[in-house]
Structure 1
Amino acid sequence: MHAPQSPTQPVPVDRALPDVYRALLAVHTANDRHGLPRALCHLVHLRASQINGCAYCIRMHTREARADGETNARLDHLAGWRHMTDYTPAERAALAWTEALTHLGSDREPDIGALRTQLRAHFEDTMIAALTVEVAMINQWNRIAIANH
């Protein structure tokens, strides 16, 4: 790889480590096979991106959710989902899980066991595992995107 034009120039992961980048994309392909609803994935991706302040990902996931039929009202209300009636109990459990796994090390220390119990009321363990991977991956992508701002 050539030297950057300036020491503050971003280092794009896709160009610097194309094999790693392809492997990260492959995780999504593998995880998609477990059937987590796309609408739920959009909500998870967007909520984690909001928390992490990743403007690039917020724009992208909002656009993708709309293209897949998500309503503007639900997208507009997502930041305050706990106080809105727009979301199903399953979505609320998934959003609580998303926030718990995104706010690591915060002073909010969620009760992971209670959150897992809520998830199990709506999802089988394979779906909970797939949801956990989605949350982990969007947090990773947020950090990669922010590093390139």
Structure 2
Amino acid sequence: MTQRINYVQQSPELFKKFFELSNLLKDSTIEESIRDLVSIRASQLNGCGFCLDMHVKEARLHGERELRVHHLATWRESTLFAPRERAALAWTEVLTRLPEHGVPDELYERVRTQFSEKELSDLTFEVMAINGWNRANVAFKTVPGSSDKAFGLDKANLV
């Protein structure tokens, strides 16, 4: 795969602001393990190889179990995810795919049993951010692994 354009170089100020949002999310009410799962699952749904590669490596560096990463594509059938994680994954999927008639009330109510209003707001920003990154990297065919050294992901020892 050949990258189309380097959007970081072409729009440095916009990239900087969007990157700042992503960094702010690290201090949100959503725990790191759920942020990792959300980023991986949205990247799977969007077919973003760059982000999938990056977030799998980050999850490994954060101590995520390899089997859980493998089970993300079929999380509904897996016994490896807690109710709070399942709610986050369901929220990620509905916001990533945005059904024609919006988010169903039943799903919203189910997710609200696991997240406070503040947490749900923070989770929504997390999903918004990863979907934005996915769209930029899919549009411009950013090469998976091309930023590993810059982000310290080479330490994940995944080749």
Q: Into which bin does the TM-score normalised by the smaller protein fall?
A: 0.7 to 0.9
- Structure 2 counterparts to residues 59-70 of structure 1, below 5 A: 59-70=53-64
- Distance (Å, rounded) in 1 between the aligned partners of 2:102 and 2:75: 17
Which residue does the alignment assign to 1:140? 132
Which residue does the alignment assign to 2:82? 88
> In the alignment, does 2:90 pair up with 1:130?
no
Q: TM-score, normalised by structure 1?
A: 0.87
Shift of 1:118: 1.5
- Distance (Å, rounded) in 2 between the aligned partners of 1:79 and 1:11: 30
Runs of 4+ in 1 over 4 A off after TM superposition: none
- CA offset digits 1:13-44 (Å, max 9, x no partner): 21111100000011122233322101000000
Question: What is the alpha-carbon root mean square deviation over aligned residues?
Answer: 1.7
1:46 partner letter: I
1:147 partner letter: A
Shift of 1:10: 1.8
Aligned residues: 140
Which residue does the alignment assign to 2:104? 112
1:34–1:126 CA contact under 8 A, matched in 2: no
Report SS of the residue matched to 2:75: helix
Report SS of the residue matched to 1:83: coil
Gaps of 5+ in 2: 142-159
Report SS of the residue matched to 1:116: helix
- Distance (Å, rounded) in 1 between the aligned partners of 2:38 and 2:80: 15
- Distance (Å, rounded) in 2 between the aligned partners of 1:147 and 1:111: 26
**Which one has the largest radius of gyration?**
1
The alignment-based identity, stated in percent, is 38
- Structure 2 counterparts to residues 11-30 of structure 1, below 5 A: 11-30=5-24
- Distance (Å, rounded) in 2 between the aligned partners of 1:9 and 1:39: 30
Q: TM-score, normalised by structure 2?
A: 0.82
